[in-house]
């Protein structure tokens, strides 16, 4: 079978990869769709991000859905032919953090397509995959494209959960890429009364309006657009920072009300934090990293029609056209979520 390997910056290769049979508690999958994530783009453009660098060829991909082709011994609740969303998160269940009830912080995490450990954890952009049955969430009623959105949706459901009670609250979302869009959808589903979204690109803000943002602000065209929201110590009850830009972090803190909550999702390296404002306004600052149980919740929300992600999927390419797909995914003026078809 073929798999998409990253050998280094701008060095992607579609190469042979050995297929294996499912063992006890595992299933074999014929992959159907895979979404190109920001981390995949970091490996493509830079060979990694921050201190995380490729040290060996690695299969990319972790936003995937597939069709079950075989069951290993002891697998129940799944059947050959089922379309499933595949969680890339495989905590060990035995380390200190897992036993504390924090599987997303697992010390031995095996997350598809990650160069953090060595040897690297190989990803899921391949024609066939063997996964644990516990990773597979039945996605009946969804398209393969929708099912492959379960992973980024889970990231945003985890973040909105950390933001606390949003019912009737005013929420700021900074950065309107796929994660920002999904945060808008998740915050609205959580009952947010008003959502203001910011970005530096017009197309992203147009998408944010489609996703349900009440107000969209272009902070490139109007750098002071958020200034009115800083009056009287701030306007927002919660902020979801999805860009990883220091300016956006500072804007969130300036516009939050006293005792507001800021959840940081965007990853772009360390940022300076205006701690005087954090202290004076008693702001709660939280990081949000990955997810666990939110993955299955996301699939259910999509199945029930409570969250619709279809407008975010702007392009799809065959696996053989991976170069064109990564080029398109890198062009934020044209693409939101780009997926590979297997």
Tell me the per-residue pLDDT of 186-209, one tens digit each, with 9 for 90 and over: 999 999 999 999 999 999 999 999
d(CA 12, CA 124): 14
Tell me the per-residue pLDDT of 112-145, one tens digit each, with 9 for 90 and over.
Answer: 999 999 999 999 999 999 999 999 999 999 999 9
Q: With 0-12 CB in 10 A as exposed, 13-18 as middle and 19+ as buried, what is 250?
A: middle
User: Is 79 found in the same domain as 15?
Assistant: yes
Q: Is residue 320 part of a domain?
A: yes
Q: What pLDDT, on the 0 to 100 scale, is given for residue 270?
A: 83
| Judgement on whether residues 139 and 219 belong to the same structural domain of the protein | no
CATH code of the domain containing 86:
3.90.180.10
251 lies in the same domain as 323: no
Helix (H) or strand (E) holding 294: helix 294-303
Which structural domain range is residue 194 located in? 154-287
β-pair type (236-241, 215-218)? unpaired
Residues 29 and 126 in one domain: yes
The answer, yes or no, to whether residue 97 has pLDDT greater than 80, is yes
- Find the Cα–Cα–Cα–Cα dihedral 140, 142, 146, 147, rounded to 10°: 0
Residue 297 domain flag: no
- Answer yes or no: are the C-beta atoms of 89 and 104 closer than 8 Å: yes
Are both 29 and 143 inside the same structural domain? yes
Bridge partners, residue 77, by sequence: none
Q: What are phi and psi of 88, to 5 degrees?
A: -80, -5
Q: Are residues 213 and 328 in the same domain?
A: no
The domain total for the chain is 2
Shared domain for 218 and 260, answered yes or no, is yes
Question: Does one domain contain both 158 and 120?
Answer: no
Residue 293 included in any domain: no
225/105 same-domain check = no
- 233, pLDDT greater than 80: yes
Q: Report the distance separating Cα 98 and Cα 89, nearest Å.
A: 12
Residue 301 resides in a domain: no
| Domain co-membership, 45 together with 11 | yes
Q: Determine the length of the chain.
A: 342
Greater model confidence, 270 or 129: 129
Do 134 and 264 belong together in one domain?
Answer: no
Residue 304 falls inside a structural domain: no
Q: pLDDT tens digits, residue range 298-315?
A: 999 999 999 999 999 999
Domain CATH for 159: 3.40.50.720
Kindly state whether residues 11 and 133 are assigned to the same domain.
yes
């Amino acid at each position: 079978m073929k798999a998409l390997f990253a050998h280094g910056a701008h060095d992607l290769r579609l190469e042979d990869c050995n297929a294996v049979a499912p063992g006890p508690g595992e299933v074999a999958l014929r992959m159907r769709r895979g979404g190109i994530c920001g981390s995949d783009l970091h490996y493509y453009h830079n060979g990694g991000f921050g201190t995380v660098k490729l040290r060996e060829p690695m299969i990319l991909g972790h936003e995937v859905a597939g069709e079950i082709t075989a069951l290993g011994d002891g697998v129940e609740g799944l059947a050959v032919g089922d379309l499933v969303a595949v969680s890339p998160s495989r905590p060990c269940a035995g380390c200190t953090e897992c036993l504390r009830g924090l599987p997303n912080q697992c010390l031995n995490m095996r997350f598809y397509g990650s160069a953090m450990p060595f040897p690297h954890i190989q990803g899921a952009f391949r024609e066939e995959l063997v996964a644990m049955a516990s990773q597979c969430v039945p996605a009946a009623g969804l398209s393969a494209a929708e099912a492959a959105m379960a992973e980024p949706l889970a990231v945003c459901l985890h973040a909105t959960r950390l933001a606390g009670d949003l019912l009737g609250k005013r929420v700021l979302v900074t950065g309107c890429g796929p994660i920002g869009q999904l945060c808008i959808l998740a915050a609205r589903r959580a009952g947010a009364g008003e959502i203001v979204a910011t970005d530096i690109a017009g197309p992203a803000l147009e998408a944010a309006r489609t996703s349900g943002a009440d107000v969209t602000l272009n902070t490139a065209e109007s750098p002071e657009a958020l200034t009115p929201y800083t009056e009287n110590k701030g306007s927002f009850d919660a902020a979801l920072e999805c860009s990883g830009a220091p300016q956006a972090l500072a804007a969130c803190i300036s516009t939050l009300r006293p005792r507001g909550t800021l959840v940081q999702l965007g990853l772009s390296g360390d940022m300076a934090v205006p701690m005087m404002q954090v202290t004076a306004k008693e702001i709660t600052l939280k990081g949000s990293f990955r997810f666990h149980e939110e993955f299955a919740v996301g699939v259910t929300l999509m199945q029930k029609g409570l969250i619709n992600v279809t407008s975010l999927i702007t392009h799809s390419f065959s696996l053989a056209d991976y170069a064109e797909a990564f080029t398109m995914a890198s062009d934020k003026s044209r693409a939101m979520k780009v997926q590979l078809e297997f």
